[in-house]
Amino acid sequence: MRPSRPPGITRGVRRPLAIAAAAAVGAAVLVAPAVPAAADDAVVTASVTFDDPPVNEGITVRTGDAGRGTWLEVGGLPALQTNPAIGNTYIYNDIDDTLINGGTNTVRITVEYYDAAISGGSWDVTYDSATNPWRALPAVPLTGSNTWRTEEFTVTDARLSNRENGADLRIGTGTSAIAFRSVTVERLVDAPALSLRTPGNIFVTGTPPKIDFTAAPDARVDYRVYDVNNNHVTQGVATNTDGAGTIQIGTLPEGYYRLQATATINGQASLPAETTLAVVAPQPDAANSPFAAAVSHRQLPPGSAPLAALAGDSYYRPTLTWAGMERTAGVYTYPTAWQQQTIEARDAGLAPMPICAYTNPLYDNDATPHTDAGRAAFADYCVAALDGYVDLGNPAPAVEVYNEFNAGFGDRGDGPANSLPEYYFPLLQATYEAVKAEHPDTLVVGPATSWPDLGWLETLFALGALDYMDVVSVHYPGDPPEAAVANLEAVDALVREYNNGESKPIWVSEWGWSSRTGSVDEHTQASYAARAGVIGLSQGVERNFWYDFNNDGLDPADHESNFGLLRNAADPLGALTPKPSYAAHATMSRLLTGATFEGAQEVADGVTAYEFATAGDDNLLALWSTSGPRTVTIETRVPETVVEMSGQSRTLTPYLHGVELTLTEDPVYVIGSADASDVTDGGQFTLTAAGPTLAGDAIQLTLDVDKIGGPRMELAVTVNERTVPVQVTSGQASVQIPISIRDTGLLGTRGLVALVTNNGTPVARLTAEIEVLSTPITVSAGHALREDADVLSVSVTNQVATDQPVGDLAWQLGAGSGTETIGTLAAGQTVTLDIPTTGLTSPGTHPWSLNLAMPDADAITENGSLVLVDPAAVTALHQQTITVDGVPDDLSGITPIDLDADGEVRQIPDWGGAADLGGDVWWTWDQDNLYLTAAITDNVHAQPGLNDTIWTGDSIQFGAVAGAPGEDLTGYYEYGLALTTQGPQVFRWNGGGGILPNGPVDAVDLAVSRDEATQTTVYEMAMPWSELAPFDPADRLLALSFLVNENDGAIRRGWLEWGSGIGMGKNPALFPSTRLDP
């Protein structure tokens, strides 16, 4: 996990919470992110205490829209309680207008409430914000601790001008009668308002970054800068002249950075305002670059074309849609916004590769083109689109015919196209002939499949499509980038097979990974962006388009909104400001443009050295590890330059036999004389971190030195400006050097870089990661079976290396509640408590909540639901070990899942019964593994896919998640099993919500055999329980669903499923419930 800043809302930490302003801001104005403020930072305070009568100190209270609330004493204190029985579910609070009224204010709202044991009870606050008079804050669930508790919210956009029925904020309790003791509103020092003076905050090396601000005239403005690994880089105080000024950071090396700025008045500090920036080398000759920018919302946003060129892109991929361009038959219009963007791209040196797409209501009833008339009209529109680029002085060197025809875009409307290659081929042919007649030098590109859909492509190529495309294009959205290698090789092999042994240029017109919540984070997206570029060039991909250049929206959880290298034009961090992937992309493009791929060599498991020859006659190695941190040695006698993923470079000088590097998932580039054969696994130095650690505590590192003979060592190691001597005597074989450094960075994953030096000259670059936590304790709960009785199993864990005192754990499950004493947790200790479900309705869904008191910090809470399933609806999985060899074990004592009787056929309208697709499936288990045995009858076995595309052919997919269905909607796993042209393959598409990485899986033992005589495919699998973490077989409850994909030689026909929640959409609430039985 790599949060790039303290999160706005910390799940489970009930006080304090902070909420960032959600409103879109002007393109250049930034707002403060949400982080807790200090306890003594209020400049204005207003409160009301709910005695009877209430004590108003700047806040006047009004109880509801339908009568009074109830004044009572609860928990030993006077209180005001809502009264839903008479329709009173609100408490209105009006702040004195002389204290706060209008503007945009940073305020902290504190509510004191009684945490009663009310099943499903919760309350919330709405407040009058700058953009919404009824802006809602997250609901606060009751946990049943039966104590007075305090909830805090910090907001940065409070207007508070009496727009909530004459009040400023409102407490709502729904159908629950909840008691409150007080409400306090404190106006805090406003954060500086930052504004960009350089587009996108993208700076060229040698240019000191400058960012303007406004603040209170008497405020001191401090700033701090952090790098891509969340390490502190620099800090300072900006000059504030009458409420305005410029933060002048000073020269920074190439890289990605985050800036935080605070305003302080009379010792009271504001929340920090934030923005991001990147420093890149001078603009290369982008015309020769193999890298390009794809866009999803038809055009690059205004102002972004120069930033794409600065990133090193040569092409951009816009769309001038058919429906938008031809509104009257035969009449073509060119929107003003398109014209402006085309001119901006032209002036920036970007060449267009437009997509001709999709449908038009004037033809084929607005369905995917499927008649000769519709195809001819489509081809004419495509020619007209190309004419428009010529007219504006930016002719398109290439045009892509349609987009992802093999997926949903090829099945629009009520026509018969149905995404079939048989309908794409005549559309391609018609468009190719029309384009070549008018623009003979324009390359025609297709088919832009949404993944390397090998079966679909083979059918298309067999029709003769390669005669009508100059370039073959595919998209690659799969995890991880390395899985693309086999697919790209297979695409090239298909082209050669159907093109008389000759290849054609292959372009990936969409590489892309969304950094949405629950997917890859921004740092991993940057790593993928660089790795994809290297892999593309290693496979001969001549143009690599990143999808897409900028974020399409502001919702961090929305998939389509978060593909960008840059942020959205309305992002609170600044218009088109960089994500880490921008710096990674820019670094890669500068290093690899003009380079020639020379070959790749596997160094170790998960480590491949990609070798390029640069235009300057140097060798360039691209290196990373997909199997965890790993030290490698580069055997060399001359200095080598090491460039980090984000651009920072340093020179290493050989010591003894060479230089050493720690490799992680982030690519590094080594420039010099070394080639791929000079890279060897292992080395003398290894850096490790003792973690996780608490924010503010010293970070403890260890340098392990394996001297492997030789003379006495007199070296030093430097981490974050802390230097420690490294001395190993001639009689020592190895030594451990402890290193302690101050924590000056951000929360989340910290990537620490250590340089081992010999007489001040770096000889090794080592890295270690450590998690920096805001709290040492975690609380979690899951549904388990104990002697066939359902329980809520609660775990309290100390994550750090020191003992930690904790208070009592208050719990509520349904209408029941209780308190357990925990005491002190030793370093790394986990305490588990089982809460019985006695008295709960079955079947049924029952809310639970946990509240762990902390002696020196805010309480930690968690909540969720426990689902009790009718025992008759739970499938038993019997304990039996199998031998994985492709030959079924004797399972005669276990009743299989009979797909003929218990399965559901999906999207196979011409299903021919069990002989077409059917069979039996057994799930068994032991303490080490989950086992699958499947005997699938299938009249034709076809599997054209590899790795992440195996679902397109005959295969098994299954999903699993701990507990009962519906309890955990994000932590599920999804796997695929297939017999491919490269042998049995296991692929993971979802790794428990980020617990395990997506990609090929080596830890699972799989054997698949095919008997053509009986038309039966046997699958046998042994999956270690670690591949379903955190599921523990002792807990016994597992939601499990599976399906068998069907392909009879061309494309996926559909599937046969047991359960649901996979094929028609991912929903683990639809997985059947299973139970591990002896």
Q: What letter represents residue 154's amino acid?
A: T
Q: How confident is the model over 538-546, as a mean pLDDT?
A: 98
Half-sphere exposure of 23 (CA within 13 A, CB side): 19
95 and 111 share one domain = yes
835 and 811 share one domain = yes
* pLDDT, greater one: 117 or 574: 574
> SS3 of 307, please?
helix
Confidence bin at 710 (pLDDT 50/70/90): low
Half-sphere exposure of 62 (CA within 13 A, CB side): 15
995 and 891 share one domain = yes
What's the CA gap between 764 and 758, in Å, rounded?
A: 9
Does the residue 613 lie in any domain? no
Q: Is the pLDDT of residue 925 over 80?
A: yes
946 and 817 share one domain = no
Does the residue 740 lie in any domain? no
Instruction: Break the chain down into helix, strand, coil percent, rounded to 5.
Output: 15, 45, 40
pLDDT single digits (tens) 216-228? 999 999 999 999 9
Q: Is the pLDDT of residue 998 over 60?
A: yes
pLDDT at 649 (0 to 100): 97
Q: How confident is the model over 1031-1047, as a mean pLDDT?
A: 97
Q: Is the pLDDT of residue 153 over 50?
A: yes
Six token digits for residue 124:
């919330």
* pLDDT, greater one: 321 or 35: 321
pLDDT at 708 (0 to 100): 59
User: Cβ distance 149 to 859 under 8 Å?
Assistant: yes
Does the residue 26 lie in any domain? no
pLDDT at 691 (0 to 100): 81
Q: Is the pLDDT of residue 20 over 60?
A: no
* pLDDT, greater one: 736 or 126: 126
User: Cβ distance 257 to 227 under 8 Å?
Assistant: yes
Counting every residue written for the chain, the total comes to 1078
To the nearest whole number, what is the mean pLDDT of the chain?
92
What share of the chain has pLDDT > 70, as a percent? 95
User: Cβ distance 12 to 861 under 8 Å?
Assistant: yes
Nearest 5°: phi and psi at 456? -60, -45
826 and 902 share one domain = no
Which residues sit opposite 878 in a β-bridge?
Answer: 924, 1077
CATH number at residue 235: 2.60.40.2550
Final residue of a domain: which of 160, 188, 216?
A: 188
Q: Is the pLDDT of residue 791 over 80?
A: yes
Does the residue 693 lie in any domain? no
pLDDT single digits (tens) 246-290? 999 999 999 999 999 999 998 889 999 999 999 999 977 778 999
> SS3 of 87, please?
coil
On the 0-12 / 13-18 / 19+ scale of CB atoms within 10 A, 554 is middle
User: Ramachandran region of residue 352, left (φ > 0), alpha (ψ -120 to 50) or beta?
Assistant: beta
pLDDT at 285 (0 to 100): 76
What's the CA gap between 753 and 668, in Å, rounded?
A: 13
Q: How far is CA 198 from CA 306, 308, 583, 705, in A?
A: 12, 15, 16, 46
Residue that the structure tokens 């207008």 belong to: 97
On the 0-12 / 13-18 / 19+ scale of CB atoms within 10 A, 332 is middle
pLDDT at 1050 (0 to 100): 73
Does the residue 309 lie in any domain? no
237 and 91 share one domain = no
What's the CA gap between 542 and 110, in Å, rounded?
A: 58
Does the residue 33 lie in any domain? no
Q: Which candidate, 632, 536, 528, places its Cα nearest to that of 581?
A: 528
Six token digits for residue 880:
């039996």
Q: Is the pLDDT of residue 17 over 60?
A: no
Q: Is the pLDDT of residue 182 over 60?
A: yes
103 and 223 share one domain = no
User: Cβ distance 618 to 671 under 8 Å?
Assistant: yes
Q: Is the pLDDT of residue 1002 over 80?
A: yes
User: Cβ distance 603 to 647 under 8 Å?
Assistant: no
pTM of the model: 0.89
Q: Which candidate, 835, 824, 828, 821, places its Cα nearest to that of 864?
A: 835
User: Cβ distance 573 to 275 under 8 Å?
Assistant: yes
Does the residue 198 lie in any domain? yes
pLDDT at 296 (0 to 100): 75
What's the CA gap between 122 and 445, in Å, rounded?
A: 56
Confidence bin at 771 (pLDDT 50/70/90): very high
Q: How confident is the model over 608-619, as a mean pLDDT?
A: 93
Q: Which candidate, 1018, 1057, 1064, places its Cα nearest to that of 1040?
A: 1057
pLDDT single digits (tens) 586-597? 999 999 999 999
CATH number at residue 86: 2.60.120.260
79 and 226 share one domain = no
Work out whether strand 59-62 and strand 875-879 pair parallel, antiparallel, or are unpaired.
unpaired
Helix (H) or strand (E) holding 434: helix 421-438
Q: Is the pLDDT of residue 618 over 80?
A: yes
Residue that the structure tokens 């042209």 belong to: 981
Task: Say how many domains are in the chain.
Answer: 4
CATH number at residue 856: 2.60.40.10
Q: How many CB atoms lie within 10 A of CB 418?
A: 12
What's the CA gap between 571 and 554, in Å, rounded?
A: 6
What's the CA gap between 222 and 1024, in Å, rounded?
A: 51
226 and 112 share one domain = no
Report for 67-71, 357-361, 786-790: range of highest mean pLDDT: 357-361
CATH number at residue 1018: 2.60.40.1190
What's the CA gap between 687 and 767, in Å, rounded?
A: 6
Instruction: Find the domain containing 267 and state its range.
Output: 193-280
Q: Is the pLDDT of residue 344 over 90?
A: yes
Confidence bin at 10 (pLDDT 50/70/90): very low
818 and 877 share one domain = no
pLDDT at 728 (0 to 100): 81
Return the ∠ at Cα 282 (arms to 30 and 348), rounded to 5°: 75
1020 and 951 share one domain = yes
917 and 1063 share one domain = yes
Final residue of a domain: which of 140, 173, 188?
A: 188
pLDDT at 66 (0 to 100): 61
Q: What is the DSSP string of 571-609?
A: -TT-TTPBPHHHHHHHHHHHHHTT-EEEEEEEEETTEEE
Does the residue 102 lie in any domain? yes
Final residue of a domain: which of 265, 280, 295?
A: 280
pLDDT at 491 (0 to 100): 96
